[in-house]
Amino acid sequence: MNFPQLRLRRLRKNERIRRLVRETGLSVDDFVYPLFVCPGKGVKTPISSMVGQFQLSIDHIIEEVEEVEGLGIPGVILFGIPERKDEMGTEAYSDDGIIQRAVRAIKEEILDFLVITDVCLCGYTSHGHCGVVDGDQILNDPTLELLAKQALSHARAGADMVAPSDMMDGRVGAIRKALDENGYSETAIMAYSAKFASSFYGPFREAAESAPQFGDRKSYQMDFANADEALREVRLDIHEGADIVMVKPALPYLDLIYRVKEEFNIPVAAYNVSGEYAMIKAAAQLGWIDGERAMMESLLSIKRAGADIIVTYFAKEAAKRI
């Protein structure tokens, strides 16, 4: 059949018909909400490049988690802003570190809430790199040991899932081994598998105070020209024990979300990163786009591409609209 017998507009005629034939939908079940934990009490510092997002001390984190829970969002991912930074990022793997304390506090208040922790050193090192530094080199294998210690201390604090975001080779295997050997075989790993050296992390680095103090992250995060390599990264992480694999950022990388979902039968997460959030917020503030509609369209596109899970700063706002 062809036009004029065939008319695709018949199924767009009104909202009820459109609802009936809609192929993809968003659910609050899809979301993970990122939170930035900082030291102190009663601290709620706005992040200027991320409207509506804050650095929160643990007391405020608890309030926030209660709100997130009330909206039906399954879980949060935590990023820490430590008291002190040093060359080796010691607070990252201290049982008394900011994240470890935050996880314990959340778990004390809301037993079955899902707590995911970001595992990476960049927020904790004085040089702002995601690994151990020697001169201008970021060392791979010595970093694995620290990441494994960090993941283990998060698990010990009660984290349900750890999310390594450093892009060192072999980190998923090293973390899985450390968790299993220490009685945490139930702790899941959501690996930032295809993580690109992206300009869209800019606002996050303000939020987490984690910008590299020299050079850039191109020797560990992926070249954004490469797609086959992203599939190799994902394959390796699955092989090393990742339970969920992630593509990051999301919107400029929908092709990869699609390819990863097609290629592997494993839950796929996409990180709708700080820059993607900031662009919509900024344009909306200027009155140049309808921010709410752009938000819903972006999130749905990520879902349509194949993501099962969307890590997004929009989680609360979107949950209210669903």
Please report, as ranges, the residues that interact with ligand PBG according to CB under 6 A. Answer: 118, 120, 122, 130, 165, 201, 204-205, 210, 273-274
Q: What is the rounded CA–CA span in Å between residue 155 and residue 308?
A: 24
Out of 107, 149, 218, 248, the active site residue is 248
Show the tokens assigned to 273: 């990163």
* Least distance to ligand PBG, CB of residue 233, Å: 15
Q: How far is the CB of 27 from ligand PBG (least distance, A)?
A: 22
Task: Establish whether 107 is a catalytic residue.
Answer: no
| Residue nearer to ligand PBG on the CB measure, 188 or 287 | 188
Cα(301)–Cα(55) distance, integer angstroms: 29
Q: Closer to ligand PBG at the Cβ: 118 or 240?
A: 118
138, 129 Cβ separation under 8 angstroms: yes
Nearest approach, Cβ of 205 to ligand PBG (angstroms)?
Answer: 6
DSSP code for 4 = T
- Smallest CA-to-CA distance from 155 within 111, 191, 104 is with 104
- CA separation for the pair 216, 167 (Å, rounded): 13
Is 248 known to be catalytic? yes
The distance of closest approach from Cβ of residue 197 to ligand PBG in the complex, given in angstroms and rounded to an integer, is 8
**Which one, 48 or 182, has the nearer CB to ligand PBG?**
48
* CA pair distance 52, 54, nearest whole angstrom: 7
Q: Which of 195, 261, 303, 316 is catalytic?
A: 195
Q: Are 185 and 150 in contact (CB under 8 A)?
A: no
Distance CA 39, CA 165 (A): 22
Question: What b/e readout covers 223-240, taking b as 16+ CB neighbours within 10 angstroms?
Answer: ebeeeeebbebbebbbeb
Residue of minimal CB distance from ligand PBG? 204
**Shortest Cβ 210–ligand PBG spacing (Å):** 6
* Cβ neighbours, 10 Å, residue 131: 28
Return the active site residues: 195, 248
